Amino acid sequence: MSAAAILLAAGLGTRMKSRLPKALHPLAGRPMLNHLIAACEGVFDRIVVVVGPDMPALERAAAPHVTVVQAERLGTGHAALQAAPLLADFPGDVAVLYADNPLISTATLERLRAARAEAGLALLAMRPADPAKYGRVLRDAAGDVTRIVEFADASEAERQVGLCNAGVLCAPAADLFRWLRAVRNDNRAGEYYLPDVVPLAVEDGKRVVAVEAPEAELRGINSRAELAAAEAEVQTRLRRAAMDAGATLIQPESVVLAHDTRLGQDVTVGPNVVFGPGVTVEDDVEIRAFSHLEGCVVRSGAIIGPFARLRPGTEVGARAHVGNFVELKATRLGEGAKANHLTYLGDASVGAGSNIGAGTITCNYDGFGKFRTEIGSGVFVGSHTTLVAPIRLGDGAFTAAGSTLTRDVAPDAMAFGRARPTEKPGMAAAFRAARRPEPSPETPPAPPKEKA
């Protein structure tokens, strides 16, 4: 049977105290909404995202999935109903989920769908360590759900129930939209609440069941503190997956991974390494402490760091070395090439086996445009060389230390781009004397002042 998902993402996130829509706050380098979309894409045939007015960034994040605007924020039931025109003739089930519950797994959503096949309505529930003010899921002697009571409306006995509503539910499309249209707003907030479809389903004689899942998957994110707790959960999952796949994390709790970080087998990652989005690391790579990688590829056997930065568009070749305090941006470092310390290579290519000396920089930006530096194979770039792009160094070329080069260097040539040193005898002493006269040796030191 086909199934669709409605993702509610219209919330402003007032408690976040942010101009950014709540659903766009990132976890492991990806917006919360996109975490949920990724889980849903493996389970649902269609996805509709409900956004608020004037949220173009959220609509872009949802693409290619269709969005619909909730012009007035009148509650979760009202938000879900905005998707009805897009799913009016949908023949299968429809699930409603929240963008601020981004950690739900595909496996849990599959269990939700399976439970719906055996009942008229299925919902997700959890047993949090601190039930706090969650709505309680009430069940009859047979274990079927009878209703959901909000904490504020619950009796003392009902508040002792440990099973709490996670807000996610699934039902046949026709039934769900009929129940949503029947939901009333006679509550203190004057809003239409999604959980109110549960008693309507029961009144229709439908069996309602609860599917339990871990709190770590179903917790909502409504504040910066809750976002940080969710980030910690995501990082724990990502680190475990990386180690299960054959990577060594020397101090796992200090390593930050992105949602799409790819680490090969026998990769070793030192403490305090940060991976931004878009990083692929092949087998047998060592990434040393305090390095930062984003949008780059590191080929087999390379060594990175410590204290290295690889920026987007960078590719480090097999067995190449990027050392301490070296930054690469949109640069290809060839197989076996080395940039071992204190270097910036931007918009550059470096051929196989070349050596980049300490303090070398490529001057790739003139204030208006970016220009490339091309360094051939087997090139030796002396320490503290400045390469003013656009420039090309041919295969086998040498540059003298301290050179500033503005023109191409032919293959196997040696380039000098520095002024001849000039020595002026005695000038240092005269320079000091002119600025800080030294006392004469015959002049006795002044006696210390007497204290009053």
Task: Give the residue numbers annotated as catalytic, written as ranges.
Answer: 341
Which residues, at least 6 apart from 116, have a Cβ–Cβ distance to it below 8 Å?
A: 93, 122, 170, 171
Grouping H, G, I as helix, E, B as strand and the rest as coil, residue 179 is helix
For 126-150, b where at least 16 C-beta lie within 10 A, e where not — what string?
Answer: bebeebeebbbbbbeeeeebebbbe
Which residues, at least 6 apart from 161, have a Cβ–Cβ distance to it below 8 Å?
A: 136, 137, 138
CA 78, CA 380: separation in Å to the nearest integer?
68
Strands (E), 129-267: 136-139, 145-149, 164-172, 208-212, 248-249, 262-263
First CA to last CA across the chain, in angstroms?
A: 100
Residue whose token pair is 């799913």: 87
Grouping H, G, I as helix, E, B as strand and the rest as coil, residue 170 is strand
Contact 350, 339 (CB under 8 A): yes
How large is the angle between the packed helices 106-117 and 32-41, nearest 10 degrees?
50
The pair phi, psi for residue 57, each rounded to 5°, is -65, -35
CA 237, CA 252: separation in Å to the nearest integer?
11
CA–CA distances in Å: residue 53 to residues 56, 58, 177, 222, 342: 8, 10, 22, 20, 49
Closest among 1, 2, 102 to 47, alpha carbons compared: 2
- The dihedral of CA 119, 123, 126, 130: what is its sign? negative
CA–CA distances in Å: residue 328 to residues 229, 268, 325, 383: 33, 20, 10, 17
The pair phi, psi for residue 258, each rounded to 5°, is -95, 165
